[in-house]
Amino acid sequence: MNQTPSGLSRLGTMILDNLSTAVLLFDRDLRLRYINIAGENLLAVSAKTVLGEAAGNLVPCPTDAVEDRLRESLDTRQPFTEREVEVKRPDRQIIRVNCTVLPLHPFDEPYELLMEMQQIDRQLRIAREEYLISQHHATQALLRGLAHEIKNPLGGLRGAAQLLERELPNPGLREYTRIIIDEADRLQTLLNRMLGPNNLPHLSSLNIHHVIEHVRGLLSAEFPSGPEIVRDYDPSIPNFDADPDRLIQAILNIARNAAHAAGQHGQVRLRTRVMRQFTIGNVRHRLVLVIEIEDDGPGIPEELMDRIFFPMVSGRAGGTGLGLAIAQELVNQHQGLIECESRPGCTNFLVYLPLEPIHE
């Protein structure tokens, strides 16, 4: 919970911090005096760094008239609503919000103006997350059923080839049975990769930046000529319980795709942030870690966007189409979710992981 500000009761602050709508309070000079947790999440800022900021700096938009409208509302004591306002966040993402401004006079100073902002596509995002989770579970159930039906005859085929190999006196003929055995093993490996690990994660307390730095080292070794890897970490993120090997694999799968997309002369950005009172699917969490893997490559074709987490779907020649599906499964095992935003020149994968203990 944010520290109780002057003029607000502890109960009032608690109520505001548990709202899903962003609430900002300004003084007579249009300086920010309070922002709730939803506001921090929406604007991708920390209250500690933005308190005291001018409204025009905090909520920049193309009209350059934010402070004029707020000043007019303050002088006339008339509320107003602006719809579909574009706001550019510090992470360069542009969001659209509906904004309502309400003068608070007469009220205890220092609060003179209340601004309420609601992201237009918030409900769409929650619905999309629920869709992604349900589709992933349905895909995994289908794959497990198919794998069971394939593994049994595949095992019989391999066993028969081994018996036949022992009976064949001609080494040239045994070469054919060896091909059958090798291909059966290859299919078995492919099935196992598609399904991912079926045992529970081995949890231990970890620092997420140690995990990401390990991935960065692997990426630098695999792509020695580039792209450039830029780090943007939040050092305040606490340790949490997770399976380090599975998170390394999930993040590496995404980062490897980003490196391929960016190319030798491009850039991959690894960013970490914490969101408070954040919803994943239909579950609200007190603290959520966000890992962003962003590249400046050509972007993902629009026709693939709804299918990129399905097995065997790849936008890259020579790709297996398994990396993102496996990454999503590994993150789901931590009650998290991976989302993707893409446009020409910028693709950003966002890995959401709750920082609360996982119930095994």
Residue 302 has pLDDT above 90, yes or no: no
pLDDT bracket for residue 352 (50, 70, 90): very high
Higher-pLDDT residue of 40, 119: 40
State CA 185 to chain mean position distance.
35
Helices (H) and strands (E) in the chain, counts: 10, 12
* pLDDT > 90 fraction of the chain, expressed in percent and rounded: 31
Q: What is the pLDDT of residues 199-241, one digit of tens each?
A: 788 899 999 999 999 999 999 999 999 899 999 999 999 999 9
Residue 297 has pLDDT above 90, yes or no: yes
pLDDT at 279: 80
297 to 99, 220, 288, 359: CA distances (angstroms) = 34, 18, 27, 38
3-class state of residue 277 by DSSP: strand
Count CB atoms within 10 A of the CB of residue 37: 22
Nearest to 270 by CA among 247, 237, 293: 293
Give me the amino acid identity at 139. Answer: T
- Do residues 186 and 223 lie in contact, with contact meaning Cβ atoms separated by under 8 Å? no
The stretch 13-19 carries a mean pLDDT of 84
Residue 136 has pLDDT above 80, yes or no: no
pLDDT at 62: 46
pLDDT at 286: 86
pLDDT bracket for residue 1 (50, 70, 90): low
The CA angle 30-36-38, to the nearest 5 degrees, is 120
CA-CA distance, 284 to 62, in Å (whole number)? 33
DSSP-derived secondary structure for 113-178: EEEEEEETTHHHHHHHHHHHHHHHHHHHHHHHHHHHHHHHHHHHHHHHHHHHHHH---HHHHHHHH
Q: Where in the chain is the domain with CATH 3.30.450.20?
A: 10-120
pLDDT at 194: 66
**CATH code of the region 10-120:** 3.30.450.20
pLDDT at 126: 67
CA-CA distance, 314 to 322, in Å (whole number)? 8
Q: What is the pLDDT of residues 22-59, one digit of tens each?
A: 999 998 888 999 999 989 988 888 888 899 988 888 77
Top mean pLDDT of 174-178, 191-195, 261-265 is at: 261-265
Give me the amino acid identity at 131. Answer: Y
Q: Where in the chain is the domain with CATH 3.30.565.10?
A: 204-354
**The token pair that represents 197 in the structure block:** 């690990």
pLDDT at 60: 61
Residue 337 has pLDDT above 50, yes or no: yes
Give me the amino acid identity at 75. Answer: D
pLDDT at 63: 44
- Do residues 252 and 222 lie in contact, with contact meaning Cβ atoms separated by under 8 Å? no
pTM for the whole thing? Answer: 0.65
pLDDT at 347: 95
The stretch 253-279 carries a mean pLDDT of 92
Higher-pLDDT residue of 306, 133: 306
CATH classification (class only), 204-354: alpha beta
Residue 273 has pLDDT above 80, yes or no: yes
The stretch 113-134 carries a mean pLDDT of 75
